Structure 1
């Protein structure tokens, strides 16, 4: 097909997440996923255990001093947030939270842990805990900082 016989397409720009077009695009991908990976899609739609949240809270004398927020999906535990009160950092709380998350993950048949973190958020902390860098995006924040993707087989 030469350039003269190619149909002309128009591209429309919108920031709407609720529209018939948005729904149609999602349906096309969902249909493709059903055809390509039916066993995964069956689990995703019918298994109440497909995704489970995890919240770990570290307290000292009733006061919250740190926490970890994660989600289990099948055999993966994705850590989305871990933070420790600045006054309590470097006392092993983060390490304890990570250890407890790994223990919980093993109890719930997870085989992997996953986290993404910024260059200034101490990826070395996760590496010391046995995580391996499996990817990175340079200049993720447009200010020169790299985002790291790390995983650990448990």
Structure 2
């Protein structure tokens, strides 16, 4: 057996490791629902905002919420969040999980009823990363 360090792994290298873990997990999680969902706001065919998430079992896991700086503060982020939460409820999700950096949207999520359960200080450096959940039902 050889141990190798790769300081510039390709997406294919990373996916090979990921697939190995997925196969290992299959007997335990194979029957668990795992769906992707996204909502977009477009203008003249170009995305101006969007939210992406995965539904894993009965949980919605929000990955990315982005609103172009030209339309921030107009309620679009709140509307996207509301729409993805409503969709999650419709398909049987009971809770949401997400994370955000201290320079991103901590106050935004708190305003929408999310509770911070863990904070990593100085991650990656001079910032914090916050982990939130919210009950939907």
- Structure with the larger helix share: 1
| Counterpart for residue 57 of structure 2 | 74
- The structure 1 segments of at least 4 consecutive aligned residues displaced by more than 3 Å after TM superposition are 15-18, 60-63
| Counterpart for residue 84 of structure 2 | 101
Q: Highest CA radius of gyration, 1 or 2?
A: 1
Q: Kindly tell me the number of residue pairs found equivalent between the two proteins.
A: 127
TM value normalised by structure 2? 0.79
- Relative contact order (C-alpha < 8 Å, sep 6+): which is higher? 2
TM value normalised by structure 1? 0.71
Give unpaired runs (5+ residues) of structure 1: 1-11
| Counterpart for residue 113 of structure 1 | 96
* 1:152 equivalenced with 2:118 (yes/no): no
Partners of 2:120 and 2:46 in 1: how far apart? 36
| Counterpart for residue 5 of structure 1 | none
